[in-house]
Structures are given as C-alpha cells and as structure tokens.
C-alpha cells in the first residue's frame, strides 16, 4: 500500500490512473452513444459506406478527412472517427489533471471536474463537444508552456497566483517542450475536427489569459504584461499560422471542385432555413404566405422532417425565396422568445445534469474562496485580481445562451461545450484561490450530489438503450439485405433510420456496404457523395428515382411514405401510387408505380 501511495504521488502517474478509471467506467458501466446522427454520418462517409472513402466531411477540415481515410485504408475494422475522439479527449483530460495536480487542491478538483464532465464527453459522444474540450486543453497547455521555467531562470515559486509559478517550476525546459508539443497537437486536431469550436475555445482561453494578466499586474506591474505578451507571441504565432493555413487549405480544396462548390451553396442555404429559421415553415402561422410562394403544407412538413432530397423543387432559389420573403423579416416576438428561452433553460440546464451541477459547484467554490481570501487578508486588493475570471466566464456563458436563443440555433451540444470549457477555467481558478487552505469542506457534499446525478444518468442510459433495442428495427439485418441486393436502389425515410446507428459507436461499416442506399434527406443529401449513389442507377437525386416508377427503386419507409407520395402528386402529377408494402427486418418496403400500370 505504501508503494502504491508513493507511486501515485507522481503527477503523471496519478493523472493517467485517474483518467483511466473514468474512461473505463464510461466504456463498461455505460452504453456510449452518438448524441446526434452527425457523428455516425461522418464516420460512414469516411469509411466509404456509400461507395468509396471520401475526405470531404463537410463540417470538418479536409485534413481530418484525409487522416480518417488513411487510417481506414490501413485498419478498416476500427471506427476511427470515434476512436480518435476518445484518444484525444483522454489526452486532454489527462493533461488538465496533470496541470491541476501542481496545486494544493488539484487532485480533488480534477476528480470533481472529471466526475461532472465525463458523461457528456465519453458517453454522450458528439464531435462539437469533444472538439471544444480538445481545443481548450491545447490552449491551456500552450499557456503553461509559455510560463515554464527554463534552466538558469530564477525561481518563481513565490508567484503562486500564476500557473507558471506553481505547476511548471520543477521540470523546466523539458516540460516546456512537452507542453508546447502536446498543446499544438491538441489545438490543431480540435480545429480540424470542428472549426467553430476552435473559435469558441479561443474565447475561453482569452478569459484564462485575462485572469493571469490581472494577477501578474497586481504583483509585478505593467512591465510583467509586456513580458507576457512577448512570450505569448512566440508561443502562439507559429501555432496560429499552421491553424489558419489549415483553414485556408480546406477552403481551397472545396473551391477547386465544382460539385462541392455547388453543394456548399445549397447546404449553406439549407442550413440557414432548416437549422436556424425553421419557424418560417410553421404552416399554422405562415400558411397563406407559404402557399403564395408555392410551398404546400406537405412541402413544409417534408422540409421540417428532413425529407428535402429533391433539389429541383427544394432548390436554393426556393429556399432563398422563403428566407427573403417579407414575413421572414418580421422582428421576433419577445414573449415567444422568452418562453422558448425558459423552456430551453429547463430542458437543457435545470435538470439533474452532472455537468451543470459541476459548473455551479465550482462557481460556488470560487465565491467561497474569494470570501475566505478577503476575510484572511482584510483588504480588497487581495481578491480584486480574481474577479475578472469569474465575471467573464459567466458573462460569456450568458452571451452564448442569449445569442443561440435569439439566432434560433440553440443546441445541447454547443451549450454544454461552453459549460465544459467554463468548468475547466474555473477549476484552475478554484485551485489558485484555495492555494493556502483545503477546499474539501465546501465540495464534499455537492460532490456526493453529483455522484447521485451520475448514477441517475447511468440508469437512464441503460433504460434508453433497452428501449432502443425494443423499438428500433434490426438495422444490421436490413443493411445486410440491402448490401446483398446491389441491383436495387433503396431510398430510405430519414426518420425511420434516424436512431439506427445511435449505439454503434465502435462498429464501422464496410466500404461500399451502403453503395445502393440513400436517405430522402440529410445534411449531405445532394452532395457528390449521394449523387454518386443515385447516378449509378441513372438518377440525379432520390426523388427523381422514386418518380421514375422503376422496379429497381425501393422506398424503405415506416413513417412518411404517404407524404412522399403526396409530394410526387403535387409536383409531378396525379399518376402515382404506392404498391402494397412488404416487410424485411422490421422495415416496410414500397415501390412507386404509375396508375396506368395497373
């Protein structure tokens, strides 16, 4: 026991051990799942499930796509999109734990941070959240690398307000190189995974830097800020140069391909309407206006249920016409916006979510630390340098919440990405505030509440998985049937297959396995990826294949088959009907036939 205790006294060993425990708990005590369909779709595109492997993953950098296609070519039996996220999240958490362990209460705060956040990162997998964590860990590592003491520099242990004085003082130049390399790798990978989260992490890294500067300013004056700026320039300029070079490379790669240029315009317009302004398709509210634009109630339903794969009707010009219509320019109704905001707050925040509770506990520990420091030192100057981080963190969270509500872009993934980054920043702030005393008495009971919350999440996770197994058709069996029937094109209802791959976090598809399968609508429909599938059968998009009344085209649909038939009749004439459905592996199959064939 003494040997084990002395072994765990090593910071690197403790960080690895603690994070391994949480990772194994997430993998074996929970049922990891994709929070949204985006991740499973990204994985399948990179795997080449729809024909051949493609590095254009639309929402990620092309270099990430090329990395995936290379890894799949080498070892196709691994779902690399998921595995890479787990690897880099593990590295990020381990690095944060290692850095926190340089403080007196670092181990306790590290455990609290992991307990609060591992479910959102390891269990409810979503690449926007993981990219945010990875980018912020990269930033923090680079910030600490900037403050590491090289050999021959004076000892700065007395500057315990500053991370460099407590964490980086022992290992010097070697640790600086390690932290710089790790930080640069994490930041660049996070950027490639999700550019928008790179910029969001930049905001919180700026808050972290502002906290360091205010503390340095109170200790050493303005001269310290000049020194810090020079140090940060040396550290960040090369990394930013590579980062923005990758952004430029991705832009040039997409612009060099005419098909991807056309799809990008289509997808950007579709995103603006379906993701951000879907309220314009509310037929109860805007029925007359939409009808005047040639959009029927059934069309609006197909838009809202992601069945918009006919870009000859659901075209860029038609979507632009809706977005530019006079009724779309109306100012939001503040009462409705307030109601929506309150509902989102309740649904996504005021629930028994471990991450939100952890954020509140860390904020409470910060406030208690401010009071303790003021009470012990009896002067306001002792606590003033600590106010900016706490204030800026919550100001940033408030602005993010309000912005995403007003822009109608509220999503769990972005809100909790912001929460997780605020938690990491506050973890370091708590350690700095409580450097002279133990914070255990303020966190013991709340940590117990978080444990109950995690247990509740675990039970809910298993309940949802069992419900999924009962309600979702045997998609593996159906995919096997589809894959073995390459003579037919299967046009699939989006909602029928919405959750089919939710729990297949580590199960890749084979290259070409779905080369004859296309959804009636998705964020990648009408891209070169899906056009390659439909064009192999002589069609431009899924609906053109359906209206051809071709014996080779099968409609796989448990929910919206009648609505698709009505769509064909409204836009292409009355001469269509559906055959009697057959069923395979829980999926209903139809053929679109012409009434003249009877």
pLDDT in tens, 510-542: 999 999 999 999 989 999 999 999 999 999 999
Q: How confident is the model at residue 5 (pLDDT cuts 50, 70, 90)?
A: low
* Pick from 559, 551, 563: nearest CA to 592: 551
Reported pTM: 0.91
Residue 38 belongs to some domain of the structure: no
Q: How confident is the model at residue 159 (pLDDT cuts 50, 70, 90)?
A: very low
Could you tell me how many helices (H) and strands (E) the chain has, helices first? 24, 9
Q: How far is CA 293 from CA 281, 325, 573, in A?
A: 12, 9, 19
| Residue 158, pLDDT score | 34
235/238 Cα distance (integer angstroms): 7
Considering the domain architecture, whether residues 350 and 401 belong to the same structural domain is answered as yes
Residue 189 belongs to some domain of the structure: yes
517/479 Cα distance (integer angstroms): 9
Residue 391 belongs to some domain of the structure: yes
Where does a domain end: 279, 307, 329?
Answer: 329
Average pLDDT score, the chain: 87
Per the model's pLDDT, the better-predicted residue between 211 and 115 turns out to be 115
Q: How confident is the model at residue 305 (pLDDT cuts 50, 70, 90)?
A: very high
- Looking at 201-215, 226-240, 298-312, 498-512, which range is the least confident one? 226-240
Four-CA torsion 338, 339, 345, 351, nearest 10 degrees: 160
Q: Residue 261: which residues within 8 A CB-CB, separation 6 or more?
A: 254, 255
Residue 372 belongs to some domain of the structure: yes
Considering the domain architecture, whether residues 195 and 146 belong to the same structural domain is answered as yes
Structure tokens at 133: 């964590």
CB 362 within 8 A of CB 430: yes
Beta bridge mates, 578: 592
Per the model's pLDDT, the better-predicted residue between 229 and 362 turns out to be 362
DSSP string, 81-100: HHHHHHHHHHHHHHHHHHHH
Q: Residue 315: which residues within 8 A CB-CB, separation 6 or more?
A: none
Considering the domain architecture, whether residues 557 and 482 belong to the same structural domain is answered as yes
Of 352-356, 394-398, 445-449, highest mean pLDDT: 394-398
| Residue 453, pLDDT score | 87
285/277 Cα distance (integer angstroms): 14
530/544 Cα distance (integer angstroms): 13
372/370 Cα distance (integer angstroms): 6
- Determine the structural domain holding residue 502 and report its residue range: 475-597
* Pick from 19, 99, 115: nearest CA to 448: 115
Where does a domain end: 281, 305, 329?
Answer: 329
214/432 Cα distance (integer angstroms): 13
Considering the domain architecture, whether residues 530 and 450 belong to the same structural domain is answered as no
Considering the domain architecture, whether residues 458 and 494 belong to the same structural domain is answered as no
242/317 Cα distance (integer angstroms): 37
Angle in degrees, CA 587, 593, 597, rounded to 5: 140
Residue 47 belongs to some domain of the structure: no
| Residue 32, pLDDT score | 96
CB 54 within 8 A of CB 45: yes
DSSP string, 482-544: HHT-TTSEEEE-TTTTTTTTTT-TT-PPPTTTTTTEEESS-TTTTSHHHHHHHHTTT-SSHHH
The pLDDT of 25-41, averaged and rounded, is 94
Whether the per-residue pLDDT at 300 is higher than 50: the answer is yes
Each residue's pLDDT tens digit, 369-382 = 888 777 776 665 66
Whether the per-residue pLDDT at 182 is higher than 60: the answer is yes
Residue 51 belongs to some domain of the structure: no
Considering the domain architecture, whether residues 566 and 431 belong to the same structural domain is answered as no
Whether the per-residue pLDDT at 71 is higher than 90: the answer is yes
| Residue 270, pLDDT score | 92
Considering the domain architecture, whether residues 346 and 306 belong to the same structural domain is answered as no
* Pick from 90, 141, 84, 178: nearest CA to 428: 141
Each residue's pLDDT tens digit, 466-505 = 988 887 777 778 888 898 899 999 999 998 888 889 999 9
Q: How confident is the model at residue 2 (pLDDT cuts 50, 70, 90)?
A: low
| Residue 355, pLDDT score | 87
DSSP alpha helices (H): ranges in 194-330?
195-220, 222-255, 258-270, 283-292, 297-304, 316-323
Tell me the Ramachandran region of residue 301: left when phi exceeds 0, alpha when psi lies from -120 to 50, beta otherwise.
Answer: alpha
Residue 73 belongs to some domain of the structure: no
User: How many structural domains is the chain composed of?
Assistant: 3
Q: Residue 64: which residues within 8 A CB-CB, separation 6 or more?
A: 57, 189, 192, 193
Considering the domain architecture, whether residues 316 and 359 belong to the same structural domain is answered as no
Considering the domain architecture, whether residues 17 and 163 belong to the same structural domain is answered as yes
The pLDDT of 150-170, averaged and rounded, is 40
406/400 Cα distance (integer angstroms): 10
| Residue 381, pLDDT score | 61
CB neighbour burial string for 86-123, b if at least 16 within 10 angstroms, e if fewer = bebbbbbbbbbbbbbbbbbbbbbbbbbbbbbbbbbbbb
| Residue 1, pLDDT score | 55
Considering the domain architecture, whether residues 319 and 350 belong to the same structural domain is answered as no
247/262 Cα distance (integer angstroms): 19
The pLDDT of 7-31, averaged and rounded, is 90
Whether the per-residue pLDDT at 172 is higher than 70: the answer is no
Secondary structure element (H or E) that encloses residue 595, with its range: none
Beta-sheet pairing, 592-594 with 576-578: antiparallel
CB 189 within 8 A of CB 132: no
Q: Residue 460: which residues within 8 A CB-CB, separation 6 or more?
A: none
Computed from CA positions of residues 157, 161, 162, 168, in that sequence, does the dihedral angle turn out positive or negative?
Answer: positive
Location of structure tokens 């990620």? 60
DSSP state of 593: E
Considering the domain architecture, whether residues 368 and 237 belong to the same structural domain is answered as yes
- Looking at 89-98, 148-157, 260-269, 544-553, which range is the least confident one? 148-157
Whether the per-residue pLDDT at 175 is higher than 90: the answer is no
Considering the domain architecture, whether residues 387 and 318 belong to the same structural domain is answered as no
What are φ and ψ of residue 66, in 5° steps?
-70, -35
CB 116 within 8 A of CB 423: yes
| Residue 142, pLDDT score | 93
Where does a domain end: 437, 466, 495?
Answer: 466
Residue 448 belongs to some domain of the structure: yes
Whether the per-residue pLDDT at 66 is higher than 80: the answer is yes
Each residue's pLDDT tens digit, 112-153 = 999 999 999 999 999 999 999 999 999 999 998 886 444 444
C-beta atoms surrounding 58 within 10 Å: 19
Kindly tell me the burial class for residue 222, based on how many C-beta atoms sit within 10 Å of its own C-beta (0-12, 13-18, 19 or more): exposed
């Amino acid at each position: 026991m003494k040997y084990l205790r002395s072994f765990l006294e090593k910071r690197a060993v403790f960080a690895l051990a603690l994070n391994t425990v949480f990772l194994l708990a997430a993998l074996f005590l929970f049922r990891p799942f994709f929070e949204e369909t985006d991740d499973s779709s990204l994985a399948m595109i990179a795997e080449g499930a729809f024909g051949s492997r493609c590095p254009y993953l639309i929402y990620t950098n092309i270099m990430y796509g090329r990395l995936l296609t290379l890894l799949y070519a080498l070892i196709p039996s691994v779902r690399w999109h998921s595995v890479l996220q787990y690897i880099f999240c593990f590295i990020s958490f381990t690095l944060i734990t290692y850095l926190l362990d340089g403080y007196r209460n670092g181990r306790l705060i590290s455990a609290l941070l992991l307990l609060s956040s591992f479910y959102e990162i390891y269990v409810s997998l979503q690449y926007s959240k993981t990219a945010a964590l990875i980018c912020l860990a990269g930033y923090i590592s680079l910030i600490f690398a900037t403050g590491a003491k090289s050999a021959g520099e004076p000892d700065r242990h007395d500057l315990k307000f500053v991370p460099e004085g407590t964490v980086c003082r022992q290992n010097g130049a070697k640790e600086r190189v390690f932290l710089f390399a790790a930080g640069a790798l994490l930041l660049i990978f996070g950027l490639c995974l999700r550019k928008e989260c790179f910029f969001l992490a930049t905001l919180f890294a700026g808050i972290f830097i502002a906290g360091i500067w205010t503390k340095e300013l109170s200790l050493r004056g303005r001269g310290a800020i000049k020194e810090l700026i020079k140090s940060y320039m040396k550290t960040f300029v090369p990394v930013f140069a590579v980062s923005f070079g990758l952004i430029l490379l991705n832009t040039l790669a997409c612009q060099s391909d005419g098909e991807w240029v056309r799809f990008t315009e289509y997808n950007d317009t579709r995103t603006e309407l379906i993701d951000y302004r879907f309220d314009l398709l509310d037929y109860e509210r805007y029925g007359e206006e939409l009808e005047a634009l040639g959009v029927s109630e059934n069309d609006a339903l197909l838009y809202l249920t992601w069945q918009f794969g006919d870009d000859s009707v659901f075209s860029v010009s038609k979507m632009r016409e809706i977005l530019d219509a006079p009724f779309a320019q109306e100012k939001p109704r503040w009462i409705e916006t307030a109601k929506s905001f309150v509902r989102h707050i309740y649904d996504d925040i005021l629930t028994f979510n471990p991450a939100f509770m952890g954020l509140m506990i860390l904020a409470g520990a910060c406030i208690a630390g401010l009071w303790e420091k003021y009470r012990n030192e009896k002067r306001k100057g002792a606590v003033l340098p600590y106010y900016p981080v706490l204030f800026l963190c919550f100001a940033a969270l408030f602005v993010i919440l309000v912005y995403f509500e007003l822009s109608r872009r509220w999503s769990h993934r972005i809100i909790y990405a912001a929460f997780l980054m605020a938690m990491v920043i506050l973890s370091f702030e708590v350690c700095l505030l409580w450097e002279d005393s133990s914070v255990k008495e303020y966190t013991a009971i709340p940590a117990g509440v978080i444990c109950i919350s995690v247990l509740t999440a675990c039970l809910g996770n298993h309940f949802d998985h069992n419900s999924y197994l009962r309600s979702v058709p045997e998609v593996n069996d159906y995919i096997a049937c589809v894959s073995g029937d390459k003579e037919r094109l299967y046009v699939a209802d989006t909602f029928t297959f919405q959750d089919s791959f939710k729990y297949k976090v580590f199960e890749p598809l084979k290259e070409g396995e779905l080369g004859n399968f296309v959804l009636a609508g998705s964020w990648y429909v009408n891209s070169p990826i899906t056009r390659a599938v439909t064009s192999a059968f002589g069609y431009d998009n899924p609906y053109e294949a359906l209206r051809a009344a071709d014996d080779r085209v099968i409609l796989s649909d448990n929910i919206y088959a009648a609505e698709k038939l009505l769509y064909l009749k409204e836009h292409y004439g009355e001469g269509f009907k559906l055959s009697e459905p057959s069923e395979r592996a829980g999926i209903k199959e139809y053929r679109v036939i012409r009434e003249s064939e009877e």
